[in-house]
Amino acid sequence: MVADNSGVKGTLYLKQNGPGSAVLLTGYIKGLYEGAHGFHVHMNGQLTNDCKDAGGHFNPFMKNHGNPFSLDRHVGDLGNIKTFSRYHPTEVFILDKLITLEPGRENSILGRAIVVHEDVDDLGEGGDNESLRTGNAGSRLACGVISRMIDY
């Protein structure tokens, strides 16, 4: 889903090798401007209203927004993805130990939305309340629902 005709689109793949193991997110996103862009899992798998219906960051443990390398963060805080040129796809390669694809777990991201933001995520270090809530990552450029694919 593209928000507000941003032209941003892509495909992501998520893989978890077993219960309790880290989740690997890989793929490519096209149409982003050069720079860093906030990349988060949001509460709802609702993609309408320019991705705003996805709600806030996925935060089942009621933590402040933070660095993806910390356990003291929203579960959905995956940091930033870096775009080197608007004319080349942005590669996504994230390994995260806090999220899971296991159904029924409190930190499961199945059925939720991945959102790419316009601006850099300050990782909760911006010195204001919005930083501790959203990382000041700006508007939503694109979103998609995380669904389980079965290999045959």
Active-site residue, from 42, 96, 112, 122: 42
| Catalytic, out of 37, 65, 73, 112 | 65
Q: Annotated catalytic residue: which of 37, 57, 73, 112? A: 57
Annotated active-site residue 65? The verdict is yes
> Is 140 assigned a catalytic role?
yes
* CA neighbor of 54 nearest in space, from 125, 1, 9: 1
57 catalytic per annotation: yes
Contact 126, 136 (CB under 8 A): yes
Give the C-alpha separation, 110 to 146, whole Å: 5
- The C-alpha atoms of residue 49 and residue 20 are separated, in whole angstroms, by 34
Catalytic residue among 96, 117, 121, 122: 117
C-alpha–C-alpha distance, residues 84 and 108, integer Å: 31
Determine how many CB atoms are found less than 10 A away from the CB of residue 98. Answer: 20
**Which one of the listed residues 37, 73, 112, 140 is annotated catalytic?**
140
74 catalytically annotated: yes
Torsion sign across C-alpha atoms 71, 72, 77, 81: negative
Active-site hit among 50, 77, 96, 121: 77
Catalytic residue among 40, 96, 112, 122: 40
Catalytic residue among 37, 50, 73, 74: 74
For the annotated catalytic residues, the residue numbers are: 40, 42, 57, 65, 74, 77, 117, 140
